[in-house]
Structure formats: C-alpha cells, structure tokens
C-alpha cells in the first residue's frame, strides 16, 4: 500500500536540505520495526539541476527511462528515490520523489502529479503542504514524536516545539497547529499564500 502523493517542501531545496529530507522521519519511534513504505512513498520536492546531476553520478542507476532515473539503493524493501527532469511551462525543472516500485504505476503517477501540481500558475499552498514544509524545515531538536506522556491516541504522531508568551515553550501535535501558529512557523514569503482551492 502506498501513501498519498504529497509535496513536502516549498521552493528549490539546496544540497544540505535535499540530504536532510531524504530521511525526514529519522527520529520516528520504533525506527527499525515494521514496514516504513507508507511513511515515505509519495513524498516529493524540487531540487536544482546540479543536485539532480550529482545524484545521477553517485552510483549507477537502477534504471533510466527518458528523463527519469531510479536509485539502486532502496530506502525500504520497495521504496527508492526517483529523480525527474520535467518540462513545466517551457522550463526544465528537477524533482526528487520516493516511489514504491512494487506498484508498477507509481513512477508515472508521481510524474503526472508533479506536473499537475507545478503547472498551477497561481502560487498557493494547501494546509497539508504548509505542515509538511514546517516539518521539513524544523531542526531535529525542535521536532519529534509524541511519546508515553501523551494520550494514547496521540502517541507516535509528529510534534513541534512552539514558543508562547505566557506559556513559554511547549510541544504541540503538528496536525493540531492553528492557522496563526502555522503562519508563525513559515518563512515570511510563504505565510500569506492562498490555498489552491481558493486560488
């Protein structure tokens, strides 16, 4: 089973950001237990041409299909990195995605989803994209997973550290952030982007 396709970073990731996002879930509890395929499959973000070419030269690819190639090393038993060079609005842009190769349609589905999302002429972000960007850009010391002190229903969910005036610093579930808290965590240039639904 693959997870939904989701953009996890806004803008073009630098090389350090790219390597950090290759394992955005490094702190997850029980890291070595169970199948992590649903956690990674479907994640994608944009990179620069230099990073795309750098990854192509690291190891011989598992396969090359036109403007796409897959990494030989798998993240899980069936999920690996697939890199795309896609023409969008008369420009070639570069992307990294985690595809579940046990699903023969996953690479083409991902390619179409990226083109559809990036062909939108109005810059916009969904709430989920805002939350994923916050997770991707928050330092490990300020993000984590709800542990034993949390109610049973919250355990294992992602948390981020917030700073309140009266409350001081406190942890909150990522999915429970208010619009104001999301805006405070986003870079200034992303705070007031409309939702694609409203755009």
Q: What is the pLDDT of residue 33?
A: 75
C-alpha angle 35/36/39, rounded to 5°? 140
DSSP tag of 147:
-
pLDDT over 90 at 3, yes or no: no
Instruction: Retrieve residue 177's tokens.
Output: 């952030």
Mean pLDDT of 185-192: 70
Mean pLDDT of 139-152: 89
Residue with tokens 């986003």: 186
Give the three-state DSSP class for 65.
strand
pLDDT over 90 at 156, yes or no: no
Mean pLDDT of 74-93: 92
Give the predicted TM-score (pTM) of the model. 0.84
- Percent pLDDT > 90 in the chain is 46
């Amino acid at each position: 089973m693959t997870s939904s396709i989701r953009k996890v970073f806004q803008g073009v990731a630098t090389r350090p950001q790219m390597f950090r996002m290759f394992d955005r879930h490094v702190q997850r509890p029980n890291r070595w237990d169970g199948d992590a395929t649903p956690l990674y499959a479907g994640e994608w973000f944009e990179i620069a041409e230099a990073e795309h070419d750098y990854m192509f030269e690291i190891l011989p690819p598992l396969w090359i299909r036109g403007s796409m190639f897959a990494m030989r090393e798998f993240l899980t038993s069936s999920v690996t990195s697939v890199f795309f060079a896609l023409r969008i609005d008369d420009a070639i842009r570069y992307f990294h995605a985690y595809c579940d190769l046990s699903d023969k349609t996953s690479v083409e589905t991902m390619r179409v989803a990226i083109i559809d999302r990036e062909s939108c002429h109005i810059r916009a972000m969904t709430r989920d994209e805002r939350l994923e960007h916050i997770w991707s850009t928050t330092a490990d010391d300020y993000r984590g997973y709800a542990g034993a002190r949390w109610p049973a229903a919250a355990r294992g969910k992602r948390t981020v550290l917030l700073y309140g005036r009266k409350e001081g610093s406190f942890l909150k579930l990522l999915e429970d952030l208010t619009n104001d808290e999301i805006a405070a965590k986003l870079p200034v240039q992303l705070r007031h982007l409309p939702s694609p639904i409203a755009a």
